[in-house]
Amino acid sequence: MITLRSAELFRLELRARMPFRYGIATMTDVPQIILRLTFDLAGKTETGLAADLLPPKWFTKDPARGLAAEIDEMLRVIRAAVRHARGICAATPFAFWRELYAAQRAWAAAEKLPLLLANFGTSFVERALIHAVCRARGASLSAALRENIFGLDLGAMQSALAGVVPRDYLPAVPPATVFARHTVGLSDPITAGDLPAAERVDDGLPQALDACIRFYGLRHFKIKINGEAARDRDRLARMATVLLAECGGDYAFSLDGNESFHDVAVFADYFRALRAAPELRALWPRLLYVEQPWHRSVALSPPIGELARAWPDRPPIIIDESDAELTSLPTALALGYAGTSHKNCKGVFKSVINAGLLAQRRATGLPAVLSGEDLGNVGPISTLQDLAAQAALGVTSVERNGHHYFAGLAQFPAALQRHALAHHGDLYVKSPAGWPRLDVRGGRLALGTVNAAPFGVPGEIDFSGLPREID
């Protein structure tokens, strides 16, 4: 039987090297949380890790709330999940997760907390459990999923998957590399001329889009829009010029609407106008998909289905923030969406289930997108675990922004920096200043060591240099 024996929470305050504006938030300072859990796995004691930033204004997007209150609430849901986990005794990791998911869901309903936020806490415990099980079995995440050592019963969660096991649709061999899909935030500079002298960062890393393309060899991009048609059109036109000059025709991109549209029809009119603009014509053959343009209050409502039927030449559109529970993807697909995103903060087992549903859809010839999106992937744990999950799911284009908005691992204790370089020499490289940064080459990240390690994170990590979060 599986039980939780002990828990530790560490907190490190990080400062971005440049502001990251997404949706209604601009992130400059943010905590990194690391959870270390020790489990009894049928008589064997093993420790697992999970980590994330606590990103403001993503889980709730309430413009009236203060950032400190939102951070406290994110910590609250993590602590609640740990508390619920202490009372669980389960035969398999999947059974443990199901009990935890149900307990956290019931608690969130009583506390009137949104499920997207509540499941952030569930995912922390789930990731630490997955890491512990992979360590105990000496297995990579891909092998553990394909061999089903977690005991996943997919049909119990989605009747359409009855009799299906993960190895039926997950890749036999995870991809050895993935495209690092570079985020262009709402206020990010496009060329060096956009950067006032006072905002230039002297840390050896690029800032403007054109410099980033040359430095990393970028070929995949994620472009933020906010629904201000003239502003978005102007920025997209300037980006189109840069992408043509730096990449030629060899690039692809996604658009992220960040829930900017509250009226269903307005986005359709907005997108049609963008697609008709002569200066943007070269972009559209390279569009991968549009991510969550509609606010979550309307994104899964019947008018979306009506619009889909009236808009047959729409681009592939996927949900992200609206993917809050296990029924979200089936609901979205029925309304005309093409898929959803994977983020570890939304749950690994949940995405394994979603990948199965999308594989069935793909087999019928319908568009089926499981994208890889970033949220809090900074540092030597969350980034590794996210990449391991993306590869195990077969995702080959993964939004990466942590290495752009934060200076590598410069703010992490020396022991964690040494661990990253010692165990992941294909993924990290030393900057001229001595701290490790992600080694994006030709626009790609190498995943050999990530795919081989237990849930991406091998060996033991020294946490003595990290402050412990006190309840």
Average confidence (pLDDT) over 399-412: 93
Query: Following DSSP, what letter does each residue of 241-284 receive, concatenated?
Result: HHHHHHHTT--EEEEE-TT-BSSHHHHHHHHHHHHH-GGGTTTG
pLDDT at 24: 63
Q: Locate 444 and state its tokens.
A: 């790609």
- For 270-311, what is each residue's pLDDT tens digit? 999 999 999 999 999 999 999 999 999 999 999 999 999 999
Helices 328-335, 348-363: crossing angle, 10 deg rounding: 30
Q: β-strand 177-184 against 444-446: which pairing, if any?
A: antiparallel
CA distance 312 to 344: 32
Average of per-residue pLDDT across 57-73: 79
Question: Is residue 304 within 8 Å of 264, Cβ to Cβ?
Answer: yes
| pLDDT band, residue 29 (cuts 50/70/90) | confident
Do the beta carbons of residue 319 and residue 332 sit within 8 Å? yes
DSSP 34: E
How sure is the predictor about 431, in pLDDT bands with cuts at 50, 70 and 90? very high
Q: Which CATH number fits domain 2-166: 3.40.630.30, 3.40.720.10, 3.30.390.10, 3.30.70.100?
A: 3.30.390.10
Task: Write the single-letter amino acid at 389.
Answer: A
Answer for the pair 406, 400: CB distance below 8 angstroms, yes or no: no
pLDDT of residue 471: 56
Whole-number Å distance between alpha carbons of 449 and 386: 13
Q: How far apart are CA 339 and CA 330, in angstroms?
A: 9
d(CA 323, CA 340): 7
Mutual angle of helices 328-335 and 302-310, in 10-degree steps = 40
Q: What's residue 466's pLDDT?
A: 87
| pLDDT at site 28 | 82
Tens digit of each residue's pLDDT (9 = 90 or more) over 381-401? 999 999 999 999 999 999 998
Strands 397-400 and 428-430, how do they pair?
A: unpaired
Contact 415, 462 (CB under 8 A): yes
Highest mean pLDDT among 52-56, 60-64, 406-410, 462-466: 406-410
What pLDDT does 457 receive? 98
Class of domain 168-456: alpha beta
- Please say if the pLDDT value at position 413 is more than 60: yes
The residues spanned by each domain of the chain are 2-166, 168-456
Which pLDDT belongs to residue 467?
86
CA distance 266 to 271: 9
Residue 23: per-residue pLDDT: 64
161 touches 357 (CB < 8 A): yes
The confidence score (pLDDT) of residue 245 equals: 97
Distance of alpha carbon 407 from alpha carbon 414, whole angstroms? 14
Question: CA 399, CA 344: separation in Å to the nearest integer?
Answer: 13
DSSP string, 384-413: HHHHHHHHHHT--EEEE-HHHHS-TTTTS-
pLDDT of residue 134: 98
Is the pTM higher than 0.85? The answer reads yes
How confident is the model over 124-133, as pLDDT tens digits? 999 999 999 9
Question: In what order do the strands lie in the sheet containing 25-41?
Answer: 2-22, 25-41, 44-53
Rounded distance, CA 286 to CA 282, Å? Answer: 8
Among 182-196, 299-313, 342-356, the minimum mean pLDDT is found in 182-196
Please state, in angstroms and rounded to a whole number, the distance separating the CA atoms of residues 338 and 389: 21
- pLDDT tens across 203-232, in order? 999 999 999 999 999 999 999 999 999 999
| Distance separating alpha carbons of residues 403 and 439, to the nearest angstrom | 9
Stretch among 31-35, 61-65, 424-428, 429-433 having the lowest mean pLDDT: 61-65
160-164, 219-223, 294-298, 465-469: the lowest-pLDDT one: 465-469
The C-alpha atoms of residue 446 and residue 5 are separated, in whole angstroms, by 35
| pLDDT value for 67 | 76
**18 vs 262: which has the higher pLDDT:** 262
What are the angstrom distances between the C-alpha of 149 and each of 14, 116, 140, 172, 347? 36, 27, 11, 16, 17
Mean pLDDT within 151-176: 97
Over pLDDT 70: what percentage of the chain? 99
Residues 6+ apart with CB under 8 A from 227: 257, 260, 261, 266, 267, 270
Output the DSSP codes for 291-314. E--B-TTTTTSHHHHHHHHH-TTP
